[in-house]
Structure 1
Amino acid sequence: MNYSGTNFQLTVKPSRLMVVTPFVLWGAAVVLALLGPFYTVAKVLFIAIWLGIGVYYWYQLNRTRHYSQLRLESGNLILGFSHGQTSEPELIHLVGRQRVLPWLVELNIVREDGQRYCWGIAADAVSRDEFRQLKVFVKTHCG
């Protein structure tokens, strides 16, 4: 997909919001399951389910942690990687619906190898101006 408009580049830093929020919610759910008025069997099932959800979110966070840059050049979206990654920058496509919130932009992307990812970019991961540019880009080209 070719996106017209002004070229831009975002350099994404690790976001405390993206790391802390799911695990605080997960921890609260575990505490409620342990202290709630449930039978022992239900408590064990709740803990197992929440442990699985926590592992899933940790896996998803680590899948996208090495992404560090998003560029729009000549109408193409290019995904850049952090210094530890050996891959060259990749052309990506936005698919499905993108979510734009005041504190988060969620991008559903497809990489060149066909794998789909959901990449959440929090407001504290980029500068205020870059975050505004990203929100405007997503709203005008994907919505």
Structure 2
Amino acid sequence: MENIISDGIHYLSGIGYSTKEDGWSNKGINVYLFCIDGKTYGAYEDPDDGYRSFGCLEEMDAKCQYTFPPQAVRVVNERVDRKIEHDGWLEYENKFMIHILDAVNGKEVLIAGTDYSESYYPMAIFNYTPENLEINKNR
């Protein structure tokens, strides 16, 4: 996964859901959509292996079903690439996450990416917490 949204202040204005064909087995993949600065991005699981999945993020032509006035957010990309030796075994920790935080209160609104990929079992995640947007504070 690469940094397709730069770190810093951006505007979140939508969330949604879609599917796309995986190109390998022609199965539909669940895609979670979010709109940043007027562009729609999709987060989905790479279906190469049923129980191991890297999170993937790409710009998409799909539209978010749920839109709202643009909310200021801070994007933080997190990347970890390191080797870990454990009892004579060499493991790799590969992690990429995009964190989207409310720009006013600093609470995490959205996180997408590969949560933790030990040497064998990576896990794609997507969590959206709209109650952490400052505009929803008293709702």
Whether TM-score is above 0.5 comes out as no
The structure with the greater share of residues assigned to strand is: 2
Scaled by the length of structure 2, the TM-score of the pair is 0.27
Scaled by the length of structure 1, the TM-score of the pair is 0.27
The structure with the greater share of residues assigned to helix is: 1
Greater RCO between the two (CA within 8 Å, min separation 6)?
1
Q: Which has the larger radius of gyration?
A: 1
